[in-house]
């Protein structure tokens, strides 16, 4: 990362300096060209203002305008006088653009580059009253030559700036990377890391993920401890009673009672194991593996469930009914059956003798719903949020004595999530509980 930042900064610096230099040199050279041309024009008019120049009169100006070349060109292009070429015949100038333009327009300027591109020649020509043309010219370094001359200077600046870049990029990379490295070293305390604005959401996310992982680990540990604890009680009973029978310490008349206890504990174990396996299946069920949705007739489903639970209800002296209208929802049938079964089973088990459980389905405000209402013992406010946690029970002994595992509502919550549904609880101690599930 550091290397990348450094090399990118260096490339940017070199590019910026080169582009700026080229731009500035060209801009200045354009001004310079204009200035030189203006000078030539002013000098030409100064000479003209004195008298019409002739070969003789121009010689007088040689000293005054020693840095300029003065040429007097006849109408036909023949060179009548040239301040720099004296004793040599010069070729005819009739083809020179400034001469031709001056003949037509009165005056004209032109710039030409030398063959090697090192020099620029500026010309300014003015037509005289007698038809001849006076041309002033000046030789300067070309823009390319100027650029070539300042090349070492630019190189020096680039080098200095590169050094500066190397230091700055190191500082920059360090300040960018420092919080990330700190975070990697101490993931447990992300709040101690000094971040900058852009990194804050990332640190927040890492912190949340880390907390979620820890929470997940804690929950799993707690769950394992709870499962072990729950398994222990029925296993101890089974082991104890069977030992009594095995060693012959159980009296004849107790054997049947002990066998019943063993049977009861074994059933508890089975229920507990089944619920634990079911929860673990739901935990690991990812959306892509999600069983195919089917159209379910909710009313048909609750009627079947009520039939299934009628004997259990009778044993608890509770009446159970199915009510409502035919509605169809898209979900996995086995899951919805499980959900209705668990809710109705709770409605029966946490009910009083003579109480009722009503299961209803239908459509409310355009949403399909399922509702299980009982006239049972109800749930106090402080427990209402927690009853969906694994192994959370309001009254442990009542749950156990009625065959509860403390996992029923945790399974319900999972199923509701998997179906994309919503669950609402309304309960009052002594009056009863109403649980409603809205399907998507």
Output 41 or 383, the one with its CB closest to ligand ADP: 383
H-assigned helices in 82-125: 97-105
Output 173 or 282, the one with its CB closest to ligand ADP: 282
Output 165 or 348, the one with its CB closest to ligand ADP: 348
Place of tokens 């009627």: 303
Out of 339, 377, 419, 437, the residue judged to bind ligand ADP by CB under 6 A? 377
Output 179 or 408, the one with its CB closest to ligand ADP: 408
Give the rounded distance of the alpha carbon of 225 from its chain centre: 39
The minimum distance between CB 359 and ligand ADP, in angstroms, equals 12
The minimum distance between CB 176 and ligand ADP, in angstroms, equals 50
Give the integer Cα–Cα distance in Å for 404 and 397.
Answer: 9
Q: What would the two tokens of residue 192 be? A: 């101690």
What 3-state class would DSSP assign to 52? coil
Out of 179, 190, 324, 376, the residue judged to bind ligand ADP by CB under 6 A? 376
Out of 387, 416, 421, 437, the residue judged to bind ligand ADP by CB under 6 A? 387
Out of 374, 375, 415, 437, the residue judged to bind ligand ADP by CB under 6 A? 374
The minimum distance between CB 182 and ligand ADP, in angstroms, equals 43
Output 364 or 396, the one with its CB closest to ligand ADP: 396
Output 82 or 374, the one with its CB closest to ligand ADP: 374
Place of tokens 């031709």: 100
Out of 395, 422, 426, 438, the residue judged to bind ligand ADP by CB under 6 A? 395
Considering the rule CB under 6 A, would residue 265 count as an interface residue with ligand ADP? Answer: no
402-431: which residues touch ligand ADP (CB under 6 A)? 404-410
Considering the rule CB under 6 A, would residue 393 count as an interface residue with ligand ADP? Answer: yes
Give the integer Cα–Cα distance in Å for 303 and 269.
Answer: 29
Output 38 or 428, the one with its CB closest to ligand ADP: 428
Judged by CB under 6 A, which stretch of 61-69, 88-96, 262-270, 399-407 contacts ligand ADP? Answer: 399-407
Q: What would the two tokens of residue 217 be? A: 């680990």
**Do residues 335 and 419 lie in contact, with contact meaning Cβ atoms separated by under 8 Å?**
yes
Give the integer Cα–Cα distance in Å for 326 and 204.
Answer: 48
321-360: which residues touch ligand ADP (CB under 6 A)? 346-347, 350
The minimum distance between CB 377 and ligand ADP, in angstroms, equals 5
Place of tokens 């327009």: 105
Place of tokens 């403390």: 406
Neighbours of 182 (CB within 10 A): 17
Output 40 or 379, the one with its CB closest to ligand ADP: 379
73-102: which residues touch ligand ADP (CB under 6 A)? none
- 11-19: Cβ within 8 A, 24+ apart: 13/158, 13/161, 13/162, 13/165, 14/158, 14/162, 17/154, 17/157, 17/158, 17/161, 18/154, 18/158
Give a three-class secondary structure readout of 262-289: HHHHHHHHHHHHHHHHHHHHHHHCCHHH
11-70: which residues touch ligand ADP (CB under 6 A)? none
Out of 339, 399, 414, 439, the residue judged to bind ligand ADP by CB under 6 A? 399
Backbone φ/ψ region at 366: left (φ over 0), alpha (ψ -120 to 50), beta: left
The minimum distance between CB 306 and ligand ADP, in angstroms, equals 15
Paired sense of beta strands 432-438 and 367-374, if any: antiparallel
Out of 111, 261, 394, 426, the residue judged to bind ligand ADP by CB under 6 A? 394
**Do residues 403 and 268 lie in contact, with contact meaning Cβ atoms separated by under 8 Å?**
yes
Binding footprint of ligand ADP on the chain (CB under 6 A)? 346-347, 350, 374, 376-379, 387, 392-395, 399, 404-410, 433
């Amino acid at each position: 990362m550091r290397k990348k930042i450094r090399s990118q900064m260096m490339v940017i610096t070199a590019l910026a300096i080169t582009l700026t230099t080229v731009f500035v040199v060209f801009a200045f050279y354009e001004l310079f060209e204009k200035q030189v041309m203006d000078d030539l024009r002013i000098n030409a008019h100064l000479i003209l203002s004195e008298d019409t120049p002739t070969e003789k009169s121009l010689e007088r100006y040689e000293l005054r305008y020693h840095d300029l070349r003065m040429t007097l060109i006849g109408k036909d292009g023949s060179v009548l006088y040239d301040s720099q070429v004296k004793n040599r015949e010069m070729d005819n100038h009739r083809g020179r653009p400034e001469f031709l333009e001056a003949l037509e327009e009165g005056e004209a300027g032109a710039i030409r580059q030398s063959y090697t591109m090192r020099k620029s020649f500026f010309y300014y020509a003015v037509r005289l009253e007698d038809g001849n043309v006076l041309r002033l010219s000046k030789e300067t370094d070309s823009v390319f030559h100027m650029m070539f001359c300042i090349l070492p200077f630019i190189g020096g600046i680039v080098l200095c700036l590169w050094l500066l870049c190397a230091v700055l990029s190191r500082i920059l990379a360090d300040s960018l990377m420092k919080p990330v490295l700190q975070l990697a070293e101490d993931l447990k305390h992300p709040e101690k890391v000094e971040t900058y604005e852009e990194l804050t959401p990332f640190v927040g996310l890492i912190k949340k993920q880390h907390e979620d992982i820890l929470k997940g680990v804690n929950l799993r540990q707690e769950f394992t401890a709870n499962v072990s604890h729950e398994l222990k009680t029925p296993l101890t009973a089974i082991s104890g009673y069977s030992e009594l029978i095995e060693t012959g310490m159980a009296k004849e008349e107790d054997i049947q009672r002990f066998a019943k206890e063993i049977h009861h504990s074994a059933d508890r174990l089975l229920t507990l194991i089944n619920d634990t396996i079911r929860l673990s299946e739901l935990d690991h069920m990812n959306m892509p593996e999600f069983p195919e949705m089917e159209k379910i007739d909710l009313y048909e489903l609750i009627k079947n469930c009520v039939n299934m639970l009628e004997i259990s209800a009778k044993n608890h002296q509770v009446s159970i009914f199915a009510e409502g209208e035919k509605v169809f929802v898209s979900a996995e049938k086995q899951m919805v059956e499980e959900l209705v079964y668990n809710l109705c089973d709770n409605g029966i088990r946490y009910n009083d003798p003579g109480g009722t459980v009503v299961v209803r389905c239908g459509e409310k405000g355009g949403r399909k719903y399922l509702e299980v209402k009982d006239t049972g013992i109800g749930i106090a406010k402080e427990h209402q949020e927690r009853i969906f946690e694994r192994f959370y029970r309001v009254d442990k002994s009542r749950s156990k004595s009625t065959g509860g595992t403390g996992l029923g509502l945790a399974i319900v919550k999972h199923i509701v999530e998997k179906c994309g549904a919503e669950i609402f609880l309304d309960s009052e101690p002594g009056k009863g509980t109403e649980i409603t599930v809205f399907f998507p």
